[in-house]
Amino acid sequence: MSTRLDWISRPAGPLRGELRVPGDKSISHRALMLASLAEGRSCIEGFLEGEDTRATAAVLQQLGVCITAPTGGVRVVDGVGLHGLRASEQPLDCGNAGTGMRLLAGLLAGQGFDSTLVGDASLSRRPMRRVIDPLTAMGAHIDSRDGLPPLHIRGGSGLHGVKADTPVASAQVKSAILLAGLYAEGTTEVHEPQPTRDYTERMLAAFGWPITFGPGWARLDGGHRLQAVDVRIPGDFSSAAFFIVAACVTPGSRLVLREVGLNPRRTGLLDVLRAMGADITIEHLGEQGGEPVGDLRVGHASLRGIEVPVALVADMIDECPALFVAAACAQGRTVLRGAAELRVKESDRIAVMAAGMRRLGVAVTERPDGAVIEGGALRGGEADSCGDHRCAMSFALAGLVAAAPVRIRDCANVATSFPGFLDAARAAGMVVGTVPAADEALE
């Protein structure tokens, strides 16, 4: 019998109350890696208990780092120093974590031993040439199968600093280069075509590494040390995004999301939704671990279609699937451009979201780098997430406002980023649950 997991999402009443979303996945990955390379013991609070981040923790443990979990959401890391990692006789399994694999490639490129990074079937289809090429320019030796995993990284290469102009706007690519730069002789400098998230830069500074950076660029020198610090990870904005959109599109909703990370390189969706007419306010703005944090108060509003500013797309790339649902509920046409990066995520998210929304009665026209979405009524039916966690959660939002229940196929991978999504959704008032994949069609 199939082990695939399906969901059913049904029309619901207003979403009300307060929620705390899990810790930021991107920051959780980076905190583990830098704490492992630091000197001393670091305590990471708010750690995301997802399959992706646990895979990264397991890889670092395989490399000789002591990482314990005294309670849920907490990791204690005894750092081994910049040159204290040990070779593993077995391949390093990143699971489904593209962030983990790309960042670890940069970190391992500077080691004195060989490593092999592997992943699951989905990750093994995702492009790694974008990190292989700049790391090779720094002196790394990385073998792959036409730029796809597994990645065989030969140690002992003397890395040198470079001035890298990345062809794509990707925080993962930038971070891989900067992590390799810790081991490189001289200066490593990265320039991006558009500014991306600066999590790695902020966290390197928090762990004591001299680094200068601004929107779209970062620069550091090799030869320094990382010092252990305690880190409190804010709530993941990408996880919050599903509830932000849900409250925006469900009549009568008033929802508060507590202590959400509001890094300006992450929150492009807020600007887009506000331009569409959303009712979103930020309260109690503060800081955790060098990251801006605040509470988000979201209410239902009548949205209107817009042309999404291309300059905001890099700051909302993971939230684009949820935007498809907001656009479907808006009056008029929404045009998304400059989002070709969506084609090489866990799935081709443009194709998956376009196909699913069309099956729910929404007119969507695909473009190579985006889509045109016509607002209108959603009917019930089925949508296939193709195993993509963000698409699955986005289709669950569609069920809130559809005329009939929506069945979402292949949702098991939601555990990679938001294992408690169903519980959080029900707590907010959504009517969503699991159904065996072999079950009968919806009533």
Torsion of CA 158, 163, 166, 172, to 10 degrees: 50
Query: What is the spatial distance between Cα 379 and Cα 117, in angstroms, rounded to a whole number?
Result: 43
The CA–CA distances, whole Å, from 248 to 203, 270, 273 equal 32, 11, 9
Tokens of 103: 């960042």
Number of H helices, E strands in the chain: 13, 23
CA angle 204, 419, 280 (to 5 degrees): 70
H-only helix segments in 250-287: 268-275
Marked catalytic residue, from 271, 318, 384, 410:
318
Q: How far is CA 4 from CA 387, 393, 413, in A?
A: 9, 16, 10
Q: Are 438 and 2 in contact, with CB atoms under 8 Å apart?
A: yes
Q: Parallel, antiparallel, or unpaired for β 74-80 and 66-68?
A: antiparallel
Comparing CA positions, the residue from 375, 376, 397, 369 lying closest to residue 385 is: 397
The answer to whether 318 is a known catalytic residue is yes
Report the alpha-carbon distance of residue 369 to residue 173 in Å, rounded. 19
What sections of 283-416 are H helices per DSSP? 310-313, 320-328, 349-359, 389-401
CA distance 86 to 194: 36
CA-closest candidate to residue 347, choices 270, 409, 419, 398: 409
Q: Tell which phi-psi region holds residue 315, choosing left (phi > 0), alpha (psi between -120 and 50) or beta.
A: alpha
- Using the Cα atoms of residue 14, residue 17, residue 22 and residue 25 in order, give the sign of their dihedral: positive
User: Alpha-carbon distance 240 to 262, whole Å?
Assistant: 11
| Enzyme catalytic residues | 318
